[in-house]
Amino acid sequence: MPCTVSMTVNGKAVSREVEERTLLVTFLRDQLGLTGTHVGCDTSQCGACVVHIDGRSVKSCTMLAAQADGAAVTTIEGLAAADGTLHPMQAAFREHHGLQCGFCTPGMVMSAVDLVTANPSPSEHEVREGLEGNICRCTGYHNIVKAVMAGAEAMQGGTLKAAAE
């Protein structure tokens, strides 16, 4: 049975008819064309699909589109400012080479933003524990951790620390 879902995605109101079993990630990718949110597994382990629902990070493969009815959803496409200025966390990932193939990156960045929102000055240990639900196969996490710590400082209004030469 199809059902109608309505929500705000990246600040825009959307309403679509979907099959009841449609996952939020499928809705975002296939119905709205927001392909920045990725699917890397089928057991809710990898975190490539993390988006924000009402400001909190959620694995969008673990939620039905219908469950997001009425919610405010932010995807990686909606994180940068309207003028294209990168969010401090996005800028930190670039500065510190916190991404390689880019596939886990949207989920990693969305998780990192939520992590820092909840804990504005995390220790390295807290960052590593906080990203436990996001798997990256390329970076070995070293530069992701550096990026999140630098991004956290920048989100508190500090200037973005440069990568050591």
Partner 1 sequence: MANPTGIGASVRRREDARFLTGRGTYTDDINRPGQTHAVFVRSPYAHARITGIDAAEAMQAPGVIAVLTGADMETDKVGSLPCGWQIHSKDGSPMKEPPHFPIARDRARYVGDAVAVVIAETREQAKDAAELVMVDYEELPAAVTSLKALEGGAPLVHDDIGGNLCFDWHLGDAAAVDAAFAQAAHVAKLDLVNQRLVPNAMEPRAALGEYDRATGEHTLTTTSQNPHVIRLLMGAFVLGIPEHKLRVVAPDVGGGFGSKIFHYGEEAVVTWAAKKVGRPVKWTAERSESFLTDAHGRDHVSHAELAMDKDGNFLALRVATIANMGAYLSTFAPSIPTYLYATLLAGQYKTPAIYAEVKAVFTNTVPVDAYRGAGRPEACYLIERLVEVAAAETGIDKAELRRRNFVPASAMPYQTPVALQYDTGDFAKNLDIALPLVDYDGFAARKAESARRGKLRGIGFATYIEACGIAPSNVAGALGARAGLYESAEVRFHPTGSVTVFTGSHSHGQGHETTFAQLVSERFGVPIENVEIVHGDTSKIPFGMGTYGSRSLAVGGSAIVKAMDKVERKAKKIAAHMLEAAEADIEVKDGRFVVAGTDKALTIGDIALQAYVPHNFPLDELEPGLDEQAFYDPKNFTYPNGCHVCEVEIDPDTGVVQVASFAAVDDFGRVINPLIVEGQVHGGLVQGIGQALYENCVYDEESGQLLTGSYMDYCMPRADDVPSFTVRYHEDQPCTHNPLGVKGCGEAGTIGASAAVMNAVVHALSEYGVTHLDMPATPERVWQAIRRHTPAQAAE
98: three-class secondary structure by DSSP: coil
53 binds partner 1 (CB under 8 A): no
Of 66, 113, 145, 150, the one binding partner 1 by CB under 8 A? 145
Q: How far is the CB of 7 from partner 1 (least distance, A)?
A: 18
CA distance 106 to 156: 21
Tokens of residue 107, six digits = 């989920």
Interacting stretch for partner 1, rule CB under 8 A, among 1-9, 40-48, 62-70, 152-160?
40-48
What is the bridge-based pairing of β-strands 56-59 and 50-53?
antiparallel
The H or E element containing residue 36 is none
Looking at 7, 37, 113, 152, which residue binds partner 1 (CB under 8 A)? 37
| 162 three-state secondary structure | coil
Q: How many residues bind partner 1 (CB under 8 A)?
A: 59
Q: Which stretch binds partner 1 (CB under 8 A): 1-9, 66-74, 92-100, 151-159?
A: 92-100
